[in-house]
Each structure stands twice: as C-alpha cells, then as structure tokens.
C-alpha cells in the first residue's frame, strides 16, 4: 500500500517507484495527469524531483516516477558500468528500461487512483528527458503537452559530456553507434511531430547548461516545428543563470526548491496551464 499524507502519496506502480502530488481543490472534479522522469544529476530521485519541481500551480495529478539505477532502485556496480561503457552500460539500458516499464506503470497508476484513459502531460529532465522523448517517439500513449528541462536530446552528446568530465575517451562499437542513432531525437523529430495529434512541446534550456546540450536544444525545436502546422506549439524557453542540475547535490532527498528551480517551475506550469488537456482524468477521493 502507498504511504500518503493530505497532498503527497508515495508507492510503487508495476515495480516503478513514484511520488504523486494530489491536485488542489475538489478531488471529485476531473483533473489531468502529468507524469515525470527526473534527472540522474540532482535532483536524482522521484521524491527529490517532486520537491524541486512540484508544479503546484497546475490543476493536475503530478506523478513523479523513479528512474532505474538510482533512488529506491540502486544497482550495485551501476556507476562502474557507466564509466566502463556510458552507452551500453548506462544510457541505453536506463532509457530502454524506463520506456518499457512505463505503459504498465501508467496502467497501474490509473487503476490505483481511478484515472481514466485520456491524454496526459509528461516532463523529462536531463536523461529523464531522453526517456520522455523516447516515449513520445515510440510508445502509443496519448500525450497532450510535454516539457523537457535541460534534456539529453542526443546520446552522443551525453557521451561527449561524460567522457570530457571523466577525462576519458569512448571506443565506439557498432552496437553503441546503433544505440546512439536510435537515441538522437533531432534525427527522429518526425516521430514526435508525426503523432496524431502532435503534443505541445516546451524545451527549457538553462543558459549555463552544457554548451553542446544547449546546441542540441536549439536544433530540436526547429526540427520539431518543421512538422507542426502551428509552430507555436513547440517553444524554446531559456532560463538565465541555470546550470544543468535543478537542485543541490547529492539530490536524493527532498529539499526546498532553489530560486532557479522555481523559475523553471513557473515556466513549465504556465505551459501546462495553457496546453494540458483539462478533460483527462477523474481522481479518486480515497
């Protein structure tokens, strides 16, 4: 059974840990659902991400899912595997697992909270952004609005950042190249813009994020807009002073949001207020 207070519920959905925030107001009134995937940097757990980006101004259920390997699902040797092979030991398996487990987790959440099968909103930050993009590109779930915060848009860029930070190089195998091609969402933007209907997509980029990540964000937005009849449904928002993390390290436990995280929260909340389906789900009163 999940643990809960008046506003927050923690539990597991089909083996995936989550922190859920109830919508404010009348619980008998229909409210949409927003699902998030956190960073592997700070905040790097579902509870910490819920605290950093609560989206309290959005009249919706906000369910923050835990990513594989961290938080309540640590795996011994995961860091060493990432160092040894950042693509095949880290990026690809994390994104693959989080994507594959999502449909069952969504079904379990809908059953647990008596939510209807209607369009949702999704949020992804850093590698959680890769998961969100992969879900958009390859999972047949209805999505009305999306926010990507300092997202990892290309696996190859993640490797470049990872190896530069570690002072190493990466010997690209054909298997790793294939995984990186699959996780290049500038190249695969058409899989997202080709959805029927395509979701409203906000890309939030800190102006102090990694330069290569910012470059990818500036490429993703026009690549998506090329497939949208209304290009205003895809937008880039730059947050002055924001580096890559949204919280102070280590970022595993909930902490009050930083001023820059509150700035991100405002921008993302406004996006969902304008674009999230409002006839999506009916939360239970229990």
Q: Which domains does the chain have, with CATH numbers?
A: 3-275 (3.40.50.1820)
pTM for the structure as a whole: 0.94
Pairing of strands 16-21, 33-37: unpaired
pLDDT for the residue 27: 60
Q: What is the mean pLDDT of each run of 10 residues along the chain (286 residues)?
A: 69 98 75 95 97 96 96 86 90 97 97 90 98 98 98 97 90 97 98 96 98 98 97 98 97 97 98 79 32
Among candidates 191, 102, 199, which has minimal Cα distance to 138?
191
pLDDT for the residue 236: 98
pLDDT for the residue 92: 97
pLDDT for the residue 24: 76
pLDDT for the residue 28: 64
Neighbour-count burial for 156-171, b at 16+ CB within 10 Å, e otherwise: bbbbbbbeeeeeeeee
Distance (Å, rounded) from C-alpha 143 to C-alpha 260? 27
Distance (Å, rounded) from C-alpha 39 to C-alpha 50? 11
pLDDT for the residue 81: 83
Distance (Å, rounded) from C-alpha 119 to C-alpha 32? 8
pLDDT for the residue 114: 85
């Amino acid at each position: 059974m999940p643990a809960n207070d008046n506003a927050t519920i923690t539990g597991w959905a089909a083996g995936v840990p989550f922190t859920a925030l109830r919508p404010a107001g009348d619980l008998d009134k229909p409210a949409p659902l927003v699902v998030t995937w956190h960073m592997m940097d700070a905040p790097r757990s579902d509870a910490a991400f819920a605290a950093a980006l609560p989206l309290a101004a959005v009249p919706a259920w906000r369910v923050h899912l835990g990513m594989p390997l961290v938080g309540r699902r640590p795996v011994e040797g995961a860091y060493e595997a990432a160092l040894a092979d950042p693509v095949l030991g880290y990026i690809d398996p994390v994104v693959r697992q989080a994507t594959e487990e999502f449909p069952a987790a969504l079904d379990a959440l809908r059953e647990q909270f008596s939510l209807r099968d209607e369009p949702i909103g999704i949020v992804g930050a850093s590698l959680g952004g890769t998961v969100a993009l992969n879900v958009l590109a390859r999972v047949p779930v209805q999505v009305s609005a999306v926010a990507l915060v300092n997202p990892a848009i290309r696996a190859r860029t993640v490797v470049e950042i990872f190896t530069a930070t570690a002072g190493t190089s990466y010997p690209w195998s054909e298997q790793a190249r294939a995984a990186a091609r699959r996780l290049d969402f500038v190249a695969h933007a058409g899989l997202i813009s080709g959805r029927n209907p395509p979701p409203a997509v906000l890309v939030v980029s800190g102006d102090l994020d990694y330069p290569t990540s910012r470059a990818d964000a500036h490429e993703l937005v026009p690549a998506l807009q090329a497939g949208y009849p209304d290009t205003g449904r895809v937008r880039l928002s730059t947050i002055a002073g924001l580096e890559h993390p949204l919280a102070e390290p280590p970022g595993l436990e909930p902490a009050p949001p930083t001023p820059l995280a509150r700035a991100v929260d405002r921008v993302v909340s406004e996006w969902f207020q304008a674009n999230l389906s409002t006839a999506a789900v009916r939360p239970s009163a229990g």
